[in-house]
A and B are shown apart, each in its own frame.
With several copies, the nearest count.
Chain A
């Protein structure tokens, strides 16, 4: 017969790969052990992990056993899983967010033309962070998507409503400039060649 030490070692390997609670019966069958012996081996293992204060312990659930982490170590695991870094919004993300906040509903092309640079990535990022949202589609040519801010935006910046957005003196000028650019935007039509 295979010696007890080897069986216990195999039980550990099995618990490890199994993940879920491992039925004593399934484990016993592999070694042609009787149920009681297998159960005792698991209990011995459990006592060993407990006695040595290991970071993994064996939990018994309904005549099954499972490896789990030691409760006391939770705080360290949490620290490992939550990187301390506070992600801040980048300058470009803030710019795009500001434009959307003040000009909503606004299309990507309008934002691009105000900033003079493509902002697809930034918009994607802001949507992921739930700060902006697609409001629908413009009725203009190409039916571009319209963007606006979300309530997460209001919450995170401490606004009760969009009316709380401070008035920005120069914003009029900017909007002026855009008029001209708006016309250009219309060139972004979606072309369909099967028209003929």
Chain B
């Protein structure tokens, strides 16, 4: 049986530190670092003991405190300008003060929020009764549509002209359907049930061909006409005909293969 102990929840390491300093009635300007450090570490231990998740932020401040503590323990070297030696606590004090400033601002906002929660608005009325027309009034003109389309056609034509100059791109793109056919044909011609992916690629294969073949393979897997397997990453893909009776899926109306075979 576990007992749940209610522990003050702190918004962060500074919140805890401020709490400890205030509890021991220390002056912020003269923090007893070693005392506060041990209290701080104690508290964290207690939180841990109670299974409270202590964020790493709390540990960061713990480290800072320990560092300041050790600096305070170092014998002060007497220099000519003794006063100029900076108190190792200065930065911490500034940060605590900054935090306290916003903490009180938060308290102030809390107070304002509480007050304003007692002032009520009313929801917007249903405005549709005032708007007889639809939200958007579309002004549409035929001439505009035609003009727009003509501009578009002109653009298109230009692109086509450019394309004609660059004939070397791809002359014929093979469709997925025809590639599936092509693959089926290979199976048929070679009279095999199992083929490697490589064997399916046309001789002049390029990236497009590979992608198309791969897509065709996936589509065939989807149509359940073949099974594809690969034993290792980047390894060889093996395709095996699920059913070498091609007619079976030719009869399936959901699979529409172009052309004739």
Contact = CB atoms under 8 A, between A and B. Distances in A.
Interface of A: 13, 16-20, 59, 66-71, 74, 77-78, 80-83, 85-89, 91-92, 94-95, 97-99, 101-102, 114-118, 129, 131, 139-141, 155-159, 166, 168-175, 177-178, 180-181, 183-184, 186-187, 189-196
Interface in B188-239: 211-212, 215, 218-219, 221-224, 227-229
A157 B221 contact: no
Contact of B138 (A16, A66, A88): A88
A102 B14 contact: no
Contacts of B136: 87, 129
Contacts of A68: 119-121
13 contacts: A68-B119, A83-B120, A86-B139, A94-B148, A95-B152, A114-B98, A115-B152, A157-B112, A157-B113, A158-B142, A173-B153, A187-B98, A189-B215
B144 interface: yes
Contact of B139 (A88, A115, A166): A88
Contact of B109 (A78, A87, A94, A184): A94
A101 B15 CA distance: 19
Nearest to B174: A183
A196 B20 CA distance: 22
A74 B64 CA distance: 49
Contacts of B53: none
A120 B222 CA distance: 26
Contacts of A69: 119-120
Interface size class of B (residues with CB under 8 A): 35 or more
A181 B114 contact: no
Nearest to B95: A191
B81 interface: no
A168 B67 contact: no
Contacts of A80: 130
B177 A141 contact: yes
B125 A71 contact: no
Given A17-B120, A94-B148, A101-B105, A114 B110 contact: no
Interface in B119-144: 119-125, 127, 130-131, 133, 136-142, 144
Contacts of B212: 187
A177 B153 CA distance: 11
Contacts of B4: none
B117 to A, nearest CB: 6
Nearest to B93: A184
Given A17-B124, A82-B130, A87 B137 contact: yes
Contacts of A191: 94-95, 98, 215, 218-219, 222
A191 B238 CA distance: 18
Nearest to B211: A187
A172 B152 contact: no
A74 B119 contact: yes
B149 interface: yes
Given A117-B57, A189-B218, 19 more contacts: A13-B120, A20-B124, A71-B119, A83-B120, A88-B139, A95-B11, A97-B145, A98-B105, A98-B149, A115-B102, A156-B113, A156-B140, A157-B141, A158-B116, A186-B97, A186-B177, A190-B222, A191-B218, A195-B227
